[in-house]
Amino acid sequence: MESIDRIMAHYGFTSRDAENLRLLRPIMERFRERFPIEFYNQIKYFEDTPAFLKDDETIKRHQEGLKVWFMNLFSGEYNNLYLKDLERIGSTHVKINLSAHYVNAAMHFVKWFCGKVLREEISDEKERLFLWGSVEKILDINLDALTSSYIEEERKHYFISQNVESHLIDFARRFSYGLNLFLVLGLVLMGVTVLGLFVYEVTHIFAGDIEKGLLGTLGSLLMLWVVIELVDTEIKHLKGGKFAIKVFIGVALVAVIRKLLVIMLQAEAIEAQFSLIAAIAVLGAVYWLISRIE
């Protein structure tokens, strides 16, 4: 368990802040009942709230817990017991599988609520800003403690040891990045080869075999288009983008179209042409469906 002194030091929380919060207690006491009601009015719009706060009894229990938590913010005494209590609240949320996102969003509301109270109750701006600094610190410390339970929970899921596994994962990540770079290099080489193929096909046109030359050139241009798409997708993937499955279907589609162009030169291969056309129709439909989903 972390020590409260260490955490407080990281947030620059001093005895002056503790004193400021204690001074605010009488003011906050007047909002003790209103706080959980407004809190609930805010969080009831989260999609999953009804699944967690499912009946009046649970809502009431939560509101009672919130009142105590709210007033403890302004107790002026922050020791290891205080931290332990926050960790208990955090682990209750983890146990019920409440997303950390909701806790963050709810804490944002608490910040807004406290700011509103201070604006309503303290007219002197300098004093208000001074007190607000301490409120902000204690709320950030609370969020830190409440969400660290989620990290603690994740840490429990180690098979051998945290150290060995994090090194292994780090190595795997670097290795996969290296492989991806290698893939980009391979694709660039492929692009150069397809350019060579294009030039070779053009020579057929000049050699007098115009039909073969034109269809071959068209096929190599299609392949070039696919290589460009693949390089683009890979670069986006390396920059953290989603992997586009559509491109793979595109590769298959172009390969079949190219084959069809070649086969069309042979008048006798009618059956093969029909099966290639059917394959293009199926791949085209899949390509269209995936494009719509992506």
| Interface residue list for ligand HEM (CB under 6 A) | 43, 46, 49, 52-53, 58, 61-62, 65-66, 69, 88-89, 92-93, 96, 98, 102-103, 106-107, 110
Closer residue to ligand HEM in complex, CB, 65/178: 65
Closer residue to ligand HEM in complex, CB, 146/276: 146
Q: How near is the Cβ of 81 to ligand HEM at its closest, in Å?
A: 14
Alpha-carbon Rg of the chain, whole angstroms?
Answer: 32
How big is the CA angle at 86 (ends 82 and 90), to the nearest 5 degrees? 165
Closer residue to ligand HEM in complex, CB, 100/227: 100
Q: How many CB atoms lie within 10 A of CB 83?
A: 22
Shortest Cβ contact with ligand HEM: which residue? 65
Closer residue to ligand HEM in complex, CB, 66/223: 66
Taking the C-alpha atoms of residue 195 and residue 217, their distance in angstroms, rounded to an integer, is: 10
Taking the C-alpha atoms of residue 109 and residue 66, their distance in angstroms, rounded to an integer, is: 13
Q: How near is the Cβ of 65 to ligand HEM at its closest, in Å?
A: 3
Q: How near is the Cβ of 15 to ligand HEM at its closest, in Å?
A: 24
Tokens 């002056």 label which residue?
16
Q: How near is the Cβ of 16 to ligand HEM at its closest, in Å?
A: 25
Q: Which of 62, 77, 73, 60 is nearest to 31 (CA)?
A: 73
Q: How near is the Cβ of 74 to ligand HEM at its closest, in Å?
A: 14
Its sign, for the CA torsion 32, 33, 35, 36, is positive
Closer residue to ligand HEM in complex, CB, 92/273: 92
Q: How near is the Cβ of 102 to ligand HEM at its closest, in Å?
A: 4
Closer residue to ligand HEM in complex, CB, 103/222: 103
Q: How many CB atoms lie within 10 A of CB 69?
A: 17
Q: How near is the Cβ of 30 to ligand HEM at its closest, in Å?
A: 19
Closer residue to ligand HEM in complex, CB, 74/287: 74
